[in-house]
Structure 1
Amino acid sequence: MTTMNCEEFVDLVTAYLDEELDAGTRRRFTGHIGVCGGCDVYLRQIRVTVAEVGRLPARNLTDRSRENLLEAFRDWSAR
């Protein structure tokens, strides 16, 4: 089994949370968490962010706020 580096880990976080990784990639992903404290913290931060943003009622989101959020994450995968 090949090891995973931090860059690959970050690229796969969304797929991991969406349970879209194949078994081998998932093992490499969880194995990386076990040896990389920084990525473990990063994953926890993403989970907290997703949970908190998910609690925002969409009807209370102004058009401007919605557009700001979309703009902030529009190029996320390119980073």
Structure 2
Amino acid sequence: MTTMNCAEFVGLVTAYLDEELETGTERRFTGHIAECGGCDVYLRQIRVTVAELRRMPAHDLTDQTRETLLDAFRDWSAR
């Protein structure tokens, strides 16, 4: 089994949370979490963020705030 680096891990977090990883990739992903404390913390932060955002009613966001957030995440994922 090939190891996974942190950049690949970050790129797969959404697919992991959506349970869309192939079995071999998921094994590599969870293996990386076991070995990398930084990525374990990152995954926990993403889970907390997702949970908090789900609690926030969408209608509370102004159009400008929504667009700002979408732009920020678009830019972030391109990194």
TM-score scaled by length of structure 2? 0.93
2-structure distance, mates of 1:55, 1:65:
17
Residue identity matched to 1:68: T
Superposed structure 1 runs of 4+ greater than 2 Å apart: none
Percent of counterpart pairs with the same letter?
80
Residue identity matched to 1:57: P
* Number of corresponding residues: 79
Out of 40-49 and 58-67, give the one that drifted further: 58-67
RMSD value, Cα: 0.9
C-alpha distance after superposition, 1:29-49 (max 9, x if no partner): 000000100000000000001
Show the counterpart of 2:53. 53
Show the counterpart of 1:44. 44
Q: Which runs of 5+ in 1 are unaligned?
A: none
Residue identity matched to 1:49: T
2-structure distance, mates of 1:59, 1:10:
29
2-structure distance, mates of 1:59, 1:78:
27
Q: Does 1:6 align with 2:22?
A: no
Show the counterpart of 1:66. 66
